[in-house]
Amino acid sequence: MSSEDVQSLAGFREFFPAEFALRQHIFAAWRRVAARYGFVEYDGPPLEPLELYTRKSGEEIVGQLYSFTDRGGREVALRPEMTPSFARMISARAGGLPKPIRWFSIPQLFRFERPQRGRLREHFQLNMDIVGESDPLADAEIIAAALDALRELGLDETHIVARVSDRRLVSAILTAEGVSDDRHLAVYAVLDKADRETPEWLSERLEAATIEEGTRARLLELPTLGLEEVRLRYARDEAILAAADSLDLVLSHLGSAGFGDYARFDAGLVRGLAYYTGTVFEIWERSGDLRAVCGGGRYDDLLASLGGVDLPALGFGMGDVVLAELLRDLELAPDATLEIDDFIVCVSDDQRGTALAVGAALRRQDRRVIYDLRERGVGRQFKTANQLGAARAIVVGPDDVARGVVVTKDMSSGDTGEIELGELLDGPDE
């Protein structure tokens, strides 16, 4: 059986050079931005004990675990998210690290689920987290970093928007509306669909959650309200005002940092993960054709609940699959071809030694150099140089070498010149 008979697994990608170029383009942008915000990179094991996830992760994630029994009989799982590993690593070192801690990672994550557009069984996800700071300034910082990571790739406020909310605010509003705690999750689920479903459908769902008719109408208005309207409507509720103040600070800081047009309050935003305790946000493409590009929030209780240090924390995850599709759709994906600087034309094998020395010298100058790997006609070599898009051809022929030079030719203008061999081979710069 040849290797071609065995297909790659469903939901797993093969990165041919064009795809790999886009992936590296994205990773490089992420790393540049992370560095600018003072984040240091870490990584954990791709394979973890199954119980790391079954113990504390949500039901949904457990149901999609890519798990199996290893040859030693141990139940293991490919990591579906980074947070548990991150929590363990942070807990091991947090005591000795200055706070706040700023760490980022680009793990490959896995889950066993039906692949579809923007969602595979494997993806890379930028994770950025801040640990040890509860001030709203940290919330603004992490959201700014997320937006910057996208802006670095050419996306601006016309392409993307961050929807920002706060679990405490929405929770306080529900309580003020007389919705008991045990029904909050059901209401969140409905609000989350506010922009995708009809009012009738939403109302029916609220009715099913035993919400009274008058309250239903008021709840369904929430996603359309601005922060000021919320403040006015619930002006006498201390808990709501306090949460609104906090959120206001986050948005205000974002504005000062230059992201005012990128972020807006949206009470309809309710992130799926249950461990968020405060600020939550998602970044969406404006058209809404694709899903969220990024999601995150504050999870002040998670580290302690995982048995680690008791420190406030917040962060986000940004996947590469949807992002890559978005960049391609907007024609922001880079040209995958490697730009060749010099193509060395070796007139005959008699000059081969000189040609190789010239190539080595140019490569020491960090130029991208290619030449034919067998003897071929000069015309053929120029054709190849042109085909490869080389910026310059360097002809190494008997007449030139006898004069102690090589001939250069700019491939786009056709202009020719000469370089002294002696200068090139033992130039002053090396």
Residue 236 CB neighbour total at 10 angstroms: 7
Cα distance between residue 369 and residue 33, in whole Å: 31
Query: 């950025």: which residue's tokens?
Result: 128
For RNA, which residue of 88, 291, 367, 368 counts as binding (CB under 7 A)?
A: 291
- Binding to RNA (CB under 7 A) within 171-200 occurs at 189, 196
For RNA, which residue of 176, 370, 378, 424 counts as binding (CB under 7 A)?
A: 378
- Binding to RNA (CB under 7 A) within 198-257 occurs at none
For RNA, which residue of 136, 278, 295, 315 counts as binding (CB under 7 A)?
A: 295
CB of 63 to RNA, least distance (A): 8
Is 262 in contact with 147 (CB distance < 8 Å)? Answer: yes
Mark residues 342-371: x for contact with RNA by CB under 7 A, - for none.
-----xx-----------------------
Mark residues 250-289: x for contact with RNA by CB under 7 A, - for none.
---------------------xxx----------------
Cα distance between residue 169 and residue 105, in whole Å: 30
Is 269 in contact with 164 (CB distance < 8 Å)? Answer: yes
For RNA, which residue of 3, 98, 116, 428 counts as binding (CB under 7 A)?
A: 116
Q: Which stretch binds RNA (CB under 7 A): 87-95, 122-130, 134-142, 168-176?
A: 122-130
Q: Which stretch binds RNA (CB under 7 A): 30-38, 113-121, 236-244, 245-253?
A: 113-121
For RNA, which residue of 158, 198, 387, 429 counts as binding (CB under 7 A)?
A: 387
Which residues sit at the interface with RNA, rule CB under 7 A? 5, 7, 9-11, 58, 60-61, 81, 109, 111, 113-117, 119-123, 125, 189, 196, 271-273, 291-292, 295, 317, 319, 321, 347-348, 376-380, 382-383, 385-387, 393, 395, 397-400, 407, 409, 411-412, 414, 416
